[in-house]
Each structure stands twice: as structure tokens, then as C-alpha cells.
Structure 1
Amino acid sequence: MTTTTLITVAPTGAESVKSEVPALPVTLDELVRTATECAALGAAVIHVHVRDDDAEPTLDLGRLRATVEALRAGTGLIVELSTGGAVTDSETDRLAVLDAVPDMASCTMGTVNFGDDVFLNRWEFIVELHTRMQDRGVVAEYEIFDLGQLAALQRLLGRYGLPAGGHVHVDLVMGVPGGMPGTVDALVACRQALRDLPAGTTYSATGVGRTSVPVMLAALSGGGHLRVGMADTLSYAKGRPVESNMQLVARAVSLAQLAQRPPATAAQARELLGLAA
């Protein structure tokens, strides 16, 4: 059982609309301010999606590079870029995300129904993304939307080797309509499957929407880490909209402390994930 909790904040995502969610950070200034506030509370990693001048999701490389540079200059957070983007983004654009040279990047381990859409991740694309990250020294976080994707990860690592840094870390994304539910039983099933991965593999868990709190509690009790943020959750409680990402990070920190697993510092997080100091 790990003694600290790695807390990741995912502040924006690609699904919510700024006009409907005014608190959503979409400009670079808003994102850096959010990152600074969340780091002060105990977050160690920021999972980044960027928006354009119209607050629409974009994988524009110039914006990605500027975002990575600003977050590094203004915070001590580990900067993780999403290679998922929006469901409409091309594979070429998603691979080019790595050209922004983040500390980490996501690697989703399979295709999944995503609400009314399809989040497409072909095997050949996954392999290309994994090997490019190895070559460039970008640490991978393997996003798992369903149980079978852990078997796909075992296959990937067996054929193409460990990620950059040598440590395997997965994020269980739970509660997406079309993916696995955000339940204790689903998390336990994933923990069983994680035993087939290399020794020392760690996991974070993300509960989408109303599954956020049950997933956090289950993850903490099972030795897991946490991802929270407005990318995944817009309601703090029934009938109570989220006011800021700080609110969600503060709750995660409080639960981690209650579990006697306080938030990992940035240095502890880097050591855990196999990142250079």
C-alpha cells in the first residue's frame, strides 16, 4: 500500500461548453491560474486539453507548446497532454501532440463508445503512440475505459516494451456512457487484472459525473491514486454545480488525508512515475 496519493487535476476536457460552464478554464491565463491554485492545494499532475480563441477544443501545436511552456514556468506540476483530444480529431494531429514535448501524455488503450460518439483508438495507432513516446522520453499514462483494455495493455508491453521511465501507470476512467461503470465492483475487477501487468504498476481512478466520490473512496481504499477536475465532473453534489477545479482538488486532498495517504509532492510524484527530477 502506497503511503502518499498522486493527485491529478484535469481542469478542462474537450466536451463541456464555456458558455454553459462559465467556470471552465479555457484561456492560457485561466489554465495557468487554475494550475497554480490546484498545485498549492496538493495536485502534482495536470492533464491538459487546450481550447482556441472561440473556446473550442483544438490540437493546434503552437497552442500546445505555449501551454506546456507556461505551465512549466508558472508551476511545479508535471505537465501531461491529452493525445485523445476530441473524438473528431485525426490520428495525425493526435500523434503530433508529442511534438510539444510534455512530461507525460495519455495513451488510450482501445476504442470505446463515448456517449453518442465513438472514441476511436486502432491497435496500429496505439502502437505508434506508445513507441513514439518511448523514443522521445515522454512518460505514458495508459487510459483504460473498459476492462478488456488492460489485456490490450499487457499485450502492448509484452510486444513493445515498457514506457519511457520504465514505470507503468494507468488511469481507470470510469462512468463514461459506453465504458465501464463507476462502481466498486468494476474497480475491484480492474485491480485483479492489474496483477497481470509488470510488478510495481500503479493506477489512478477517475469517476465521471456522479461516480466521482464513490470512485475516489474505492481507489483510496484499494491503494490507488486520484484524478479529479472539471473535465470529468461538473456537479459537486446533487443540484450543486462545481464552482472551480480547486473545489474538486480540495475534496480529493481531504479524502486522501482522511485515508492517511497525504498528497504526493511533485518530487515524490516524479519518482513514482519514472520522471527525471
Structure 2
Amino acid sequence: MQAEATEAEPTPVSIAVAPNGGRRTKADHPALPMTPDELARTASECLAAGACMIHIHVRNDEGRHLLDADAYRQASAAIRQAVGERLVVQITSETLGFYRPEEQMAVVRETRPEAVSLALRELVPDEASEPAFAEFMQWIQRERIAPHFILYAPEEAVRLAALLKRGVVPFESVPVLYALGRYTVAQTSSPSDLLPYIGPGMPAFPHWMVCAFGRREAACVTAAGLLGGHVRVGFENNLDLPDGARAETNADLVDRAAQALRTCGMRLADADMLRQAWDSCLS
């Protein structure tokens, strides 16, 4: 008898949590973490709920967005004390209108994080900015820091592919995050927002992740998982559960995403799996 073909196991899905962002405060949600201790507690809760990565912003004494190496080191140390190496700790280089590209790159150099998110439109807005950015990316490669490119529109994915081809970004490929619906009306994302990024003729990035805005976050990230991607949830982009109720904690959003992915037959990645996948992508 002919043996039945067995279906290949799907690639485990990585869940990242973005628990605070740079805009929201406790006026938006009392459980939004802003201090190192609050970030550490959130990290522990989200790890237990199924996350393998935490994407952090830090704040100044007035609660405003901050790019500061000392603040990043304090927050990262608190998270490491709470969860060890069981979460990838990623800092943001996002400007939020406060910092210039040279300041964004400087804080990454000073912090030397495990991973950093990079907004292409902020750090390399035009051709004149490419030489400084290329030098920065070569430094990132030498330091073995994992770059994670945030793309807000399909056109940015095309531009990133061109920068890779020309060697401005000195990797074979890079992990990317598709931010669905960032500039749509009311910033409410839909699963269909993913299609322009992965349609025919678009660049194929081996490791891609999705974040979404509004209560359809869980639907968007589940669709991404089913289509071979990875997911990011959290209070940075969304405060609500799929039924419209307010989430009590970031871990609630991680838990809903984890439940939905498991229900669809997906396995969840741990931090070491994510590190290995990124190493493979970047090598």
C-alpha cells in the first residue's frame, strides 16, 4: 500500500507584545506600563500568555516619549531580571516627531540592544540620507543586533527591497513588520489591509510580522499567522478585545491572539525559535 502523504508542520508563529508605545499614557489605560518595574511585570504576564518578544518604549519623568540609552538599559535589565532570556527584548528607534535620524541611530549605538525596530521612512527618508544609514546598518551587522523594519505602506516594502539589492542594507534579507491601517480612517485595521503587502509582484521577506489598530487586531494577526506570518499585539496599537470590551492588561491581548492561533492549528514560537529564525533571515 502506498503510504499517505503527511502534511508539513506549519512554522511556529511568534507573538510579540508592544505594551506601551510612545503616545498613550495611564489616562488612556491605567494598566499601561511606563516604568521599568511595570514593564517587567507586563513582560512576565505576557510571557505566560504566549509572547516570545517584547517591544518597548521608555518615557521621561513627565511620561513623554524618550530615546535614551540609560532608560533603555534600566528597562531592559528589569525585564531580564523578571524573565531571563525567555523573551526577545526589542527597543524602538521611533521618533514620534521629537528626534532626528542621527539621534535615533546614536541611541541604538549607545544602548546596543538585542533587537531594534527601524522605521524606514524616518531613518532614511531620501537618497541623501542613504550613506549615513548604510554605515549605521554595517555597524548593526557587525554588532549582531537584530534589525526589524517597520513598513507603513506597500511602497515602503518595495523601497526596502531596493535598498537590500543595492547593499545599503547589508543583509540577504531582514525581518519586517507590516503596520496595517496606520493611516486609514480612525486607524481601524482590517485583515484585507495585509493583501497589498503580500500580493503578486511584491517583495517576499522570509520573516514578516503584522500589527494592527483597533478591535479587529485579533482577526488581522490570525490572518497573518495563517498566511505564514508572525504577529504583534498590545496597548501601543489597541486597547480592546475582539468583542469590543476593554482589555484589562496587555496579557489579555496576547492570550486572545494565542487562543485564536492555536484554534486554527498553529503552534507558538518561543524566544529561541524567534532568534534562530531571525539569525537565518539575516545570515
TM-score between the two structures when normalised by the length of structure 2 = 0.84
Taking structure 1 as reference, are residues 221 and 132 closer, same or farther at Cα in structure 2, changes over 3 Å only? same
Matched residue SS, 1:262: coil
1:97 to 2:80 alignment: no
Query: For 2:204 and 2:51, how far apart are their aligned partners in 1?
Result: 26
Tell me how far 1:18 sits from its aligned partner.
2.0
Q: Given the alignment, which residue of 111, 122, 125 partners 1:122?
A: 125
Are the equivalent residues in 1 in contact too, given 2:175–2:208 (CA < 8 A)? yes
Query: Runs of 5+ in structure 2 lacking a partner?
Result: 1-8
> Within 5 Å, which residues of 2 pair with 1:184-195?
184-192=191-199
Q: Given the alignment, which residue of 37, 41, 49 partners 1:33?
A: 41
The range that moved more, 19-28 or 129-138, is 129-138
Tell me how far 1:160 sits from its aligned partner.
2.0
Show the counterpart of 2:140.
133
Matched residue SS, 1:210: coil
Identity of aligned residues (%): 28
> Within 5 Å, which residues of 2 pair with 1:139-178?
139-160=146-167, 168-177=174-183
Paired AA for residue 99 in structure 2: D
Superimposed CA distance per residue, residues 74-96 of structure 1 (whole angstroms, 9 cap, x where no aligned partner): 22211111111422222232112
Show the counterpart of 1:106.
117
Matched residue SS, 1:95: helix
Show the counterpart of 1:220.
225
Superimposed CA distance per residue, residues 12-37 of structure 1 (whole angstroms, 9 cap, x where no aligned partner): 00111223321100011000000011
1:245 to 2:250 alignment: yes
| CA RMSD of superposed structures (Å) | 2.6
Superimposed CA distance per residue, residues 83-111 of structure 1 (whole angstroms, 9 cap, x where no aligned partner): 11422222232112312111111111226
1:79 to 2:89 alignment: yes
> Within 5 Å, which residues of 2 pair with 1:45-60?
45-60=53-68
Query: Runs of 5+ in structure 1 lacking a partner?
Result: 112-119
TM-score between the two structures when normalised by the length of structure 1 = 0.86
Query: For 1:194 and 1:108, how far apart are their aligned partners in 2?
Result: 23
Paired AA for residue 181 in structure 2: G
Superimposed CA distance per residue, residues 144-163 of structure 1 (whole angstroms, 9 cap, x where no aligned partner): 10010001110111122666
Taking structure 1 as reference, are residues 88 and 220 closer, same or farther at Cα in structure 2, changes over 3 Å only? same
Tell me how far 1:167 sits from its aligned partner.
5.2
